[in-house]
Structure 1
C-alpha cells in the first residue's frame, strides 16, 4: 500500500513526469482518467509546479511506492471556508486500484484539519465519466461553469463541483 505524504520541493521533477504521464499523451491512455483525447499540450510547466510546491496555501500530497511517485493531489485554501482540489492523478497502470480514492480522502481530511467547510474543483465538462466518479464520492455540480484558461477551438468549459466537508 502506498504511503501518502506531503511533497517536498525535490519531488518536482518526478511530479512533473507523473502529471504528464497521467493526463497527456499515449501513456495516459493506459488509464481511464486522462485528457489525451481532448488536450495535447503540456499539463503543467516546471515553473507552475515549483510555484504550487512553494505556495503556503497549497498542500501537494503524493503517494509513493518505494522511491517512485505513483499519485498526487493538490489542496489549495481559497478562503476561510473553501479549498480547491486539483491535480488529482494516479500512474495510469495503477488506476482503478483505489489509490485515487485514497488520495481524494487524504485531500479532504487535510482540508478538514485546516477548518475548511467545502471543497471545490473544476472538471472539463465533457468528461462525464470522471464527473460521475466524483459525484459518487459526494461532489455535486454547482451549476457554475468557468472558461478554460487557454483559448481552444472548439472552446473548452469547466464544470464546477463542490462537496461539503462539514455537517454544520
Structure 2
C-alpha cells in the first residue's frame, strides 16, 4: 500500500465521504470487505446532513485518509468531556480492507483525540453481533467494558435493521 496521508474533512469532502461510508457499511459493495453491516442492516449508514453537522461541531472531527490523492478511509473523533473521546465511523474502502489502513486510522484518531481534546481514554460502540470486528478492536487494545447501549432500531437515519435484537457493546482503551 502506498503511504496514506491524513487530514481533517472539509465541507467540500462531504459528497465523496458519504459515498465512501455507504459503500463500506451497506449493500453489495460493502460485502467486498470484511467489516460491513450489510447482513444486519439495510438502508443508509449516514447522510450528508449528519456529516455536515459533524464538520460544524467543534467537539467532533472526521479525519480522512488519502492514498495517492484518493479518499480511501475516514474516522470520526468526538470529545465526550472529562478526558474521554469517542471513535466512530471507522471506514476503509472495501477494496482496500485488510491492508493495514484501519490500524493507521485508529492510530491517527487516538493521536487526534489526545492532541485536540486532551483525551486520556477512547471509547467506541460496536454492534454486539459483530464478533469478528469486536475481536479485531480487542487486538488493537480496546476492551469490553460490560456496558451495552441501545441501537436506534426505529430511526431510519441509521439504517433498517433486519432484526430488532441489535444493541451496541462499549469498548474502551486508555491512551
TM-score tier, shorter chain, comes to: over 0.9
Q: Equivalents in 1 of 2:75, 2:114: separation in Å?
A: 15
Q: Deviations over 1:113-161 (max 9, x none)?
A: 1311110110000100000000001100010000101235432100000
Q: What is the Cα-based RMSD across aligned positions, in Å? A: 1.0
Paired position in structure 1 for 2:123:
120
Deviates more, 1:46-55 or 1:15-24: 46-55
Structure 1 SS opposite 2:43: coil
Paired position in structure 1 for 2:158:
none
Paired position in structure 2 for 1:148:
151
TM (normalized to structure 1)?
A: 0.95
Paired position in structure 2 for 1:72:
74
How many residue pairs were aligned? Answer: 165
Q: Equivalents in 1 of 2:45, 2:71: separation in Å?
A: 17
Q: Equivalents in 1 of 2:68, 2:55: separation in Å?
A: 21
Structure 2 residue ranges without an equivalent (≥5): 155-160
Structure 2 SS opposite 1:78: strand
Q: Equivalents in 2 of 1:41, 1:53: separation in Å?
A: 23
Runs of 4+ in 1 over 4 A off after TM superposition: none
Question: How much does 1:62 deviate?
Answer: 0.4
Using CA pairs under 8 Å that are at least 6 residues apart, name the structure with larger relative contact order, 1 or 2. Answer: 2
